[in-house]
Amino acid sequence: MEKEQEQKPINDNNFSDNKAENETDLKSNNEEKEEIKEIVPEDKIKELEDKLARAFAEMENQRRRFEKEKEDAFEYGGYSFAKEALNLIDNLERSKQVLENDEKLKNTDALKKTLDHLEIINKDLISIFSKNNIKPIECLNNKLDPNLHQAMMEIEDDQKEPGTIVQEIQKGFTIKDRLLRPSLVGVSKKTDSKDKENQVNNENLENK
C-alpha cells in the first residue's frame, strides 16, 4: 500500500507535465493555424485582385478592338465596291481611245459630241467618288512613290530627272488615307551613252 501511495504522486506529476506539454503543443498549433488563416486570405485576395485586373485589361483590349473594327467598317466598308466601281472609269477611257482611233469617225461632229458626253460622265463619276473620299492620284511630273505608283516601263528622257513620271497608263485612286489602287505609270530614265554617241555621230554626218 505504501508503494502504491508513493507512486501515485509521481504519476500525477507526470500526467500534469504531459498535460502541460499537450496544452502547449495545442496552443502552438492553434497559433500556427491562426497565422495560416491570416496569411491565406491575404494571398487569396491578392490573387483575385490580379485576376480581376487582368480581366479588366482584356475587356478593355476587346473594347478597343471592337471600336477599331467598327470605325474601319464605317470608314472603309465600301472599299470593295469602290474598287470594282473604278472599272467604269477604265471602260470610259478605253471607249474614248477606241473612238478617237476609229478612222471613219475622225474629225466628225458625231465623234466630238460622243467624246463630250463621255467626258461629262467621267467628270460626274469622279465628282461622286470625291464626295465619298475616293480621289484620283496626281502623278504626272511627280517623282515615283512606291506607296502610290507602280512603274510599268522606263522612257528615255534627258529633260526629266530619272524616276520622274512622264506617262500615266492607268489612273490610281485612294479612299481616305488608304490606297485603293496604285497608278500604273511610265518613268523617265537617262538616254544610254551608246545612243547619245550615235546621235552625236548622226548629227555630225548631217552637218557635213
The tens digit of pLDDT for each residue in 75-126 reads 666 777 888 888 888 888 888 888 888 888 888 888 899 899 989 998 898 8
pLDDT recorded at residue 53: 80
Q: What is the pTM of this model?
A: 0.55
59 CB-side CA count, 13 A: 6
Cell triple for residue 173? 485612286
Q: Are residues 128 and 141 in the same domain?
A: no
Looking at per-residue confidence, does 175 or 19 come out higher?
Answer: 175
Measured CA distances, 34 to 23, 26, 37, 40, 106 (Å):
16, 12, 5, 10, 105
Number of domain units in the chain = 3
23-78 pLDDT, tens digit per residue, is 555 555 555 555 555 556 777 777 777 877 887 788 777 777 767 666 665 566 67
Q: Are residues 57 and 112 in the same domain?
A: no
Q: For residue 166, what are the contacts with CB-CB under 8 A and spacing of at least 6?
A: 140, 141, 155, 157, 160, 186, 187, 188
Q: Are residues 65 and 116 in the same domain?
A: no
Q: How would DSSP label each residue in 10-28?
A: HHHHHHHHHHHHHHHHHHH
Cell triple for residue 159? 529633260
162-189 pLDDT, tens digit per residue, is 989 999 999 999 988 889 899 999 999 8
Question: 3-class SS at 131?
Answer: helix
106 CB-side CA count, 13 A: 5
Residue 198 belongs to domain with CATH number? 2.30.22.10
Q: Are residues 30 and 55 in the same domain?
A: yes
Domain holding 173, by residue range, is: 136-208
Q: Are residues 207 and 148 in the same domain?
A: yes
pLDDT recorded at residue 107: 84
Measured CA distances, 19 to 12, 24, 25, 27 (Å):
10, 8, 10, 12
